[in-house]
Chains A and B, each alone.
Chain A
Amino acid sequence: MTTASATSPSDASTRSPSDKLQDAVIRLAGNSQDGIQTIGGFLARLAGRTAQEVMTYMTIPSTISGGPSIFQVHIGSGEVLSPGDDADFLVAFYQHSYENHINSLREGGVCIYDTDEVEPDLTDKRFTFIGIPISTTTIEALGGSARDRGKNMFILGLLTNVFDLNREKLAAIIDRQFGKKHESVLRNAMLAFDAGYSYPIGESLNGDYGIAPGRIEGEHRIATDGNQMLTCGLLAAGVRYGAGYPITPWSSIMESLRSELPKYGGLFVQGEDELAAVSIALGMAYSGHLAVTGSSGPGLSLKMEALSYAVMAELPLIVINVQRGGPSTGLPTSVEQSDLMQAIYGSHGDAPRVVLAPQDVEDCFYIALEAGRIARKYSVPVIILSDQAISSRIEAFAEPNLDEFMVEAELDISPRDESFKPYPLDGLTRHAPPGTPLEGGKYPVVTGLEHDEWGHPTANPELHQKMTARRRNKLVALAEELDELEVYGDAEGDTLLVGWGSTYGPIREAVDRMRANGQKVGAIQIRHLNPLPNGLEKSFAKFSRVAVFELNDAGLYGYGQLATLLRARYCDPRIQSITKTEGLGFKIREIIAGVEKLKNA
């Protein structure tokens, strides 16, 4: 990490506990089998229903048998942009949870711990400690049998009381989740929940921790994670076929598509490896469908040869890469943005393709629609670079209006007349999928060899140059139709912060804070990474420096991957780079410190 260490603590410490809170960061630390993900999910869905904003963050051990795991929920009555730097509340299930996470609690924060498991250092005067016999109270509530089960529901009840959350709505969400199972499951869950809810914690807490009601009005809201939203976006974009091979954190997309697509009359196929998966998907694309394949870093590497084929043959394909820490197996359950260069350049030959990145969970839906639109219009592969953070965290946001966005899946095998030419030098690519009658009697062969406008192989030097340019110019045309990016915050001033992907929220929050302190700063989040939207240089020119924040290595020459590309394109020495490779996202204070560091350099 090249950012400086902590500057000022979060502004959370400035508020008085007697007011209604505007937001709160709660960190639940336990083991993965304790079901803390489940209660995190309940809290997030509740926020969606009560017009509050929410962002979550979790760590999952990469081992199956479990291990330490956390779920952090940031709930607020207004806009919530990041999972939160420091927690206001820590719930420690075990001694290791306490030891590993007590320093993520802000000064003045509250640590709730299980007195059956944890012995905290009560002389630590930075925090308020509240010990509760969580294990024994839960067991009592459940009638003594179910060992270790239900502690999560107990805590959920407790938090509902402390933060004055909407008990009724929460109960309805729990009911829907567990109601499908055996009735005893729901009954036990509610017994544990009620025990937590009625636990007399109020006496140990000084002040009111109720969170103010949400300020977002008039919208239907949903809460879910990035992988689910990408899946929904693909379905809305008219994707009906696809193929993949399991790998974390991509797998949940393919699992969802495998069960969802048949409802739409489509199909998702599990291939024997990623080489097969991309090839199966290309077979579907050639067949006239908008198809998808996906993976995470290592799997993308395996798909590269076929991606160059798709560029050459000009087949549309959506390719998802949910990035994780690399190289190799790397940090398989952590966030990193180190596959940008691979996405843009990672295969043989001059193989221009489109690369997009969603900036948060909500945007996963719209980026999938955009990918579908571009793949169809330009007949190119479109890579979506999501990342582990977006894939797993839950956010609440306005429900997309399907009347507006639903794209129909269609297969065009209507006859083509004699003038049919798949690759016109002066027009867009149009294939004739199998089943299409060719009235001229000549059928097309799609090929990876260089070819002429009809698709006939040729090694004519002039034609190779023309066709190479043709493939590139599709992306040039795309860039021209993209809106120029608006700068968030100050339109001119000292520092323009530039990011891509999941750094969106923390960068915005950092800009808000810096502006509140009188600094002139703005931010741009790039969703179209290849081609870049036109006009960035105009925004760059209005600032003294451009600070690119990304979760990858500064490399041999001191610049992260996007920063390297921007410097190559604009030859603008104002473009600087702040990178981080800890397998964690940027904290707000790290971004602010990064800007400071560049200023003082």
Chain B
Amino acid sequence: MSTAAPAPPEKLTKKMLTADHPTWCPGCGDFAVLAAFYKVLEKLQIPHEKIVTIAGIGCSSRFPYFVNSHGLHFIHGRALPLATGISLSRPDVHVFAFGGDGDGFSIGGNHLDHCARKNVNLTYVIMDNSVYGLTKMQTSPTSPIGYKSKTDPTGAIDQPVNPMRKLVASGASFVGRTHATQVKHMMEMFERAIKHQGFSVVEVLSECVIFYPGAFDSGNPRKGGEFEIIQERSWDETAEDEARHDVTDFSAAMKLTEESYPGKFGTYYEVDRPSKNVLEQKWIDDSRAKVGSASDKDILQARFNQMK
């Protein structure tokens, strides 16, 4: 450990954030997600040592290796509880969790619901490719009916998860949706999610060029699809504004999730609700106020005294 006085903070650059060259297949949608993440961090200038990148297991979950920051590559499906432990015990750092559709909606589906309703302060990016990439082409919870995989050779038969409906219903206080081919929009979504206080989640449609090529063409104008962005209410008292989407309106957000594929992109839902971090800190502060200036030893001694 060094004892030298801390140097003045260096400006955070993309170069400083770049780590190992990603092991993803050439053309994989996840590259664009990584590039957008670098750029947003560069823009926001979060102190380098305070960035924490974590993930579960999957192709997309290899993300932490490709970001030069504090990071942790965890087990399949449990990235969010791990991130919860970091966020709640270290309010001084910024926690970013990454993962795939299998990691987030299947094995980790229950954790997603609870992390969202508790409104833990962190940002979660789901790179949805509608397939299990790392394990080489099994049906995922977002694979559409009819998708032919190694576990459904004649086509998937189970109704897929509607990611936006699940996320909005779960109680997440920021829910956004974007497409890995739309870099500018993706960056906007990331920036808004990061600035949001509480649990923010962004679903990125990110193509697996090996096992599900063309999956999201219908949302990509360059492939003949349509990338329709949600028009948000600006409260400018114009007639058009009436028809725009109020991001704080839960029912309106749920209604947006019902649109047929590829649906809309942008902010579905965004509300100001106290995060678990804030509520727990209040309890800690109240408890500390009650013990006054007592040291940890005094507090424990008082407990022993009650056992006499």
Question: B-contacting residues of A (Cβ < 8 Å)?
Answer: 45, 48-49, 176, 220-224, 228, 232, 235-236, 241, 243, 260, 262-267, 269, 271-273, 275-277, 279-289, 291, 305-306, 309, 313, 399-400, 402-403, 406, 408-409, 413-417, 432-439, 441-449, 457
Which B residues are CB-close (under 8 A) to A281?
Answer: 85
Does A275 lie within 8 Å of B81, measured CB to CB?
A: yes
Cα A400 to Cα B86 with chains together (Å): 32
Tell me if A's interface is mostly helix, strand, loop or mixed. Answer: mixed
Q: Out of A176, A263, A309, A443, which one reaches B69, CB within 8 Å?
A: A443
Closest chain A residue to B93, Cβ basis: A434
List chain A residues, Cβ under 8 A from B178. none
Across the interface, do A243 and B308 meet the contact criterion of CB distance under 8 Å? no
| B85–A283 CB distance below 8 A | yes
Determine if B28 is an interface residue (Cβ-Cβ < 8 Å). Answer: no
Asked if B1 and A222 sit within 8 Å, CB to CB, the answer is no
> Could you say which of A176, A262, A271, A414 has the most chain B C-beta atoms within 10 Å of its C-beta?
A262
Bound form: Cα–Cα A285–B89 in Å: 9
Q: Is the CB of B300 within 8 A of A236?
A: yes
Q: Which of A309, A406, A444, A445 contacts B296 (CB 8 A)?
A: A406
Neighbouring A residues of B114 by C-beta, 8 Å: 271-272, 276
19 residue pairs of the A-B complex, CB under 8 angstroms, read A223-B308, A260-B303, A263-B291, A267-B280, A269-B85, A275-B78, A279-B74, A283-B85, A309-B74, A406-B297, A436-B49, A437-B6, A438-B49, A443-B48, A443-B70, A444-B70, A447-B65, A447-B73, A448-B73
Known contacts A269-B84, A272-B110, A272-B111; decide if A284 and B300 are in contact (CB<8 Å): no
Chain B's nearest CB lies how many Å from the CB of A438?
A: 7
In whole angstroms, what is the CA distance A276 to B84 when docked? Answer: 9
Q: Is B304 an interface residue (CB 8 A)?
A: yes
Q: From known contacts A306-B75, A402-B297, infer whether A436 and B83 are also in contact, taking CB-CB under 8 Å.
A: no
With a cutoff of 8 Å between Cβ atoms, the chain A residues found around residue B291 in the complex are: 263
Interface string of B159-201 (1 = CB under 8 A from A): 0000000000000000000000000000000000000000000
Taking CB atoms, residues of chain A closer than 8 Å to B85 are 241, 243, 269, 279-287, 291
Give the chain B neighbours of A271 by CB distance below 8 A. 81, 114
Q: Is B290 an interface residue (CB 8 A)?
A: yes
Task: Tell me, in angstroms, the Cα distance from A393 to B300 when the chains sit together.
Answer: 21
The distance from the CB of A369 to the nearest CB of chain B, in whole angstroms, is 12
Using Cβ atoms and an 8 Å threshold, which residues of chain B touch A45? 307-308
The 3 closest A-B pairs by CB, nearest first: A283-B85, A279-B81, A262-B287
- With beta carbons under 8 angstroms apart, the residue of B88, B113, B297 that contacts A269 is B88
- Which residue of chain B lies nearest to A280 when distances are taken between CB atoms in the complex? B85
Would you give the 0/1 interface string for B52-86, flagging 1 where the beta carbon is closer than 8 Å to chain A? 10000000000011001111111101100111111
> CB of B157 within 8 A of chain A?
no
Chain B nearest CB, measured from A601 CB (Å)? 45
- Produce 1/0 per residue, B264-308, CB < 8 A to A: 000000000000000010011011101100001101110110111
Residues of A within 8 A of B90 (CB): 287-288, 433-435
Known contacts A223-B307, A283-B82; A435 and B50 CB within 8 A of each other:
yes
By the criterion CB–CB under 8 Å, are B288 and A262 in contact?
Answer: yes
Whether A305 touches B307, Cβ cut-off 8 Å, given contacts A262-B284, A280-B81, is: no
Considering residues B6, B87, B287, B288, which has the most beta carbons from chain A within 10 angstroms of its beta carbon?
B287
Distance in angstroms from A239 CB to nearest chain B CB is 11
Mark each residue of chain B from 11 to 55: 1 if its CB lies under 8 Å from any CB of chain A, else 0. Answer: 000001001000000000000000000000000000011101000
Other contacts beyond A279-B74, A284-B86: 7, CB < 8 A: A271-B114, A275-B81, A306-B78, A399-B308, A434-B49, A435-B70, A438-B49
Is B135 located at the chain interface by the 8 A CB criterion?
Answer: no
Q: Which residue of B lies closest to A399 (CB)?
A: B304
B238: interface (CB < 8 Å): no
Q: A409 → chain B, closest Cβ, in Å?
A: 7
How many Å lie between the Cα of A498 and that of B111 in the bound state? 44
Complex alpha-carbon distance, A232 and B305, angstroms: 12
| Nearest Cβ on chain A to B302's Cβ, whole angstroms | 9
What's the nearest-Cβ distance from chain B to residue A420, in Å? 8
Contacts of B82 in A (CB 8 A): 279-280, 282-283, 286
Give the CA-CA distance A402 to B307 in the complex, in Å: 15
Is A416 in contact with B49, judged by CB distance below 8 angstroms? no
Check: B240 CB closer than 8 A to any chain A CB. Answer: no
Given contacts A283-B81, A448-B75, contact A232 B303 (CB under 8 A): yes
Main SS at interface, chain B: helix
Q: Find the A residue at minimum CB distance from B65.
A: A445
Chain B, Cβ-Cβ closest to A225: B307
Are the C-beta atoms of B81 and A415 separated by less than 8 Å?
no
Q: Is B260 close to A, CB under 8 A?
A: no
Residues of A within 8 A of B304 (CB): 222, 232, 399-400, 402
Cβ contacts under 8 Å, A220 to chain B: 308
Once the chains bind, are A263 and B299 in contact (CB under 8 Å)?
Answer: yes
Tell me the bound Cα distance from A408 to B75 in angstroms: 31
For A285, list chain B residues within 8 Å (CB). 85
Report yes or no: B300 in contact with A276, Cβ–Cβ below 8 A.
Answer: no
Tell which of B77, B88, B113, B299 touches A264, judged by Cβ atoms closer than 8 Å.
Answer: B299
Q: Is residue B259 contacting chain A, with contact meaning CB distance below 8 A?
A: no
Contact between chains at A267 and B110 (CB < 8 Å): no
A264-B299, A435-B92 known; A222-B308 Cβ under 8 A: yes
- In whole Å, how far is A455's beta carbon from the nearest beta carbon of chain B? 10
Instruction: Check B49–A289 contact: CB distance below 8 A.
Output: no
Nearest A residue to B301 via CB reads A402
B86 surroundings in chain A (CB, below 8 A): 283-284, 286-287, 434
Q: Which chain B residues lie closer than 8 Å to A438 at the CB level?
A: 49
Find out whether the CB atom of A48 lies under 8 angstroms from the CB atom of B93: no
Q: How many angstroms between the C-alpha atoms of A415 and B284 in the bound complex?
A: 28
Is B2 engaged at the interface, CB distance under 8 Å to the other chain? yes
Alpha-carbon gap, A236 to B2, bound state (A): 30
Cα distance, A225 to B71, chains bound together (Å): 41
- On whether the beta carbons of A276 and B88 are closer than 8 Å, the reply is no
Residue ID in chain B nearest A308 by CB atoms: B75
Give the Cβ gap from B107 to chain A, nearest Cβ, in Å: 9
Contacts of A273 in B (CB 8 A): 110
Q: Which of B48, B73, B83 contacts A445 (CB 8 A)?
A: B73
Give the residue of B2, B83, B88 whose beta carbon is less than 8 angstroms from that of A439.
B2
Give bound CA distance, A266 to B110, whole Å: 26
Q: CA–CA, A448 to B62, complex, Å?
A: 12
B111 CB contacts on chain A under 8 angstroms: 272, 275-276, 279
B101 CB, nearest partner CB in chain A, Å: 19
A276 to B72, CA, bound (A): 16
Q: In the bound complex, how far is the Cα of B78 from the Cα of A277, in angstroms? A: 10
Contact of A448 (CB < 8 Å), options: B1, B74, B308: B74
Q: Contact: B296 with A264, CB < 8 Å? A: yes
Nearest chain A CB to B128's CB is how many angstroms away?
22
Q: Which residues on the B side are within 8 Å of A313 (C-beta)?
A: 72
A284-B89 in contact given A232-B303, A279-B82 (Cβ < 8 Å): yes
Contact call B49/A263, Cβ cutoff below 8 A = no
A235/B300 in contact, CB under 8 A:
yes
Contact between A276 and B78, CB atoms less than 8 A apart: yes
A265 touches B110 (CB 8 A): no
| Complex Cα gap A272–B113 (Å) | 10
